[in-house]
Amino acid sequence: MSLVEKLDAVSPSTREECIKLLSELLLSEDRASAANALYELSDRAPLIGYPLIRQVLVRLKQLCFENGRPDVMNQQLLRNMRVHEFVLGFLSVPYDKKNDTEMPKLITLSHEFLRSFCRDNRDNQNCLHKHISIDADVKEGSLHVTTIEEVATLTSIYKNNRELCENASEELIQHIVNLIEHKTRSAVFLEFLQCVVSVRGKEIEMSQERVAQEICSASDEVRVFYADSASFEQLVQMMQNTPPEELIADNPLRYHIELVRLLAMCTRGKNGNTELKCASQLPMDHIVRVVTSSHCLVQVKEVYLQFMLHCYIDTDAEMKDVYNVDYIEQILKNILSDIIKMMSLNAFTLPQYFSS
């Protein structure tokens, strides 16, 4: 059923007025007019206003894909029609955050469209990049970067775009770290930082150094490594009590995993400037203690071993701890034990083994 048909079926008496309000909401360049249109549309057709907007956004998102893959031609068509600008304008529309429970759903859907719009499309990524703003007095129609939803969209804009990642500003990286420190610890923020330090497995040295500097100089709100004895017990408890399926973005253990992964990515490629900084955050004795713990999850062990490889073994800097025979022996024994156990339980998959 088309939007007009739905209006005829649900609210024929206000059909023309609703179409006019919908056009004003989506196309108006004035934020106040768009906000008024949103409220009037909700009043005149409470059962149709938000569903109408939702249907528009869903259809726009669907246009970006064909058979599960990005549709480059439709993405280009949407860009030429400046649809992304209308959606960004819609995100700028003020609403009653206390009582309006439907608008947040439309905001989420709007971000899903923007991510679909720039998926595997460098031209669209570059187009959206021009609208990014980290200023306090954000302009209407800009992509303001303050929420988890907005940072997830930011990651989609930068993902696998080497030119953008190489030019990720120090101010933007600082801004993301500040969001972690002052808002919430979420893996989504760390995934953006991971995105800018490496593109398709190839490191970006300048971004590695900027990210490592910001992380290593941040407060304890950001640097959650559980490296002392008391907090290590907390890490063990989390590994005991967190099944893999619960490792969602806002889970504290997931945050820790992505933080260690980020440091591993910052040291990959023999970057001597980051190796010493990152080694000071995760000393070798802590790595051994975590990896050899009987409660260590495969997801945790994976990132710790990655970090050990890139920061302590495959390095330019002189890392004395790596020559500690006892440390290496404990790690190798643990890996060998894992291999032997896997061979004896060959009917099990790797995740099943590590959760047993």
125: exposed, middle or buried (Cβ count in 10 Å: 0-12, 13-18, 19+): buried
Structure tokens at 70: 């990005």
d(CA 205, CA 166): 9
Pairing between β-strand 65-66 and β-strand 69-70 as defined by DSSP bridges: antiparallel
Amino acid at 118: C
Structure tokens at 244: 């893999």
Q: What share of the chain is helix, strand, coil (3-state, %, to 5)?
A: 65, 5, 30
Within 8 A by CB and 6+ apart from 222, the residues are 177, 180, 181, 185, 215
Pairing between β-strand 143-144 and β-strand 132-133 as defined by DSSP bridges: parallel
Along the chain (356 residues), what's the average pLDDT of each consecutive run of 10 residues?
59 70 70 69 65 86 94 96 90 86 94 98 98 87 94 98 97 98 97 98 96 97 94 96 93 98 96 92 95 94 95 81 82 89 65 49
Which pLDDT does position 51 carry in this prediction?
80
DSSP state of 337: H
d(CA 37, CA 41): 6
Q: Which residues are registered as beta bridge partners of 198?
A: 203
Which pLDDT does position 353 carry in this prediction?
47
DSSP string, 31-93: HHHHHHHHHHHHHH-TTTHHHHHHHHHHHHHHHTEETTEE-HHHHHHHHHTTHHHHHHHHHT-
Q: Please state the domain extents for the chain.
A: 1-138
d(CA 182, CA 221): 8
d(CA 172, CA 215): 13
Domain 1-138 has CATH 1.25.10: yes
CB 177 within 8 A of CB 192: no
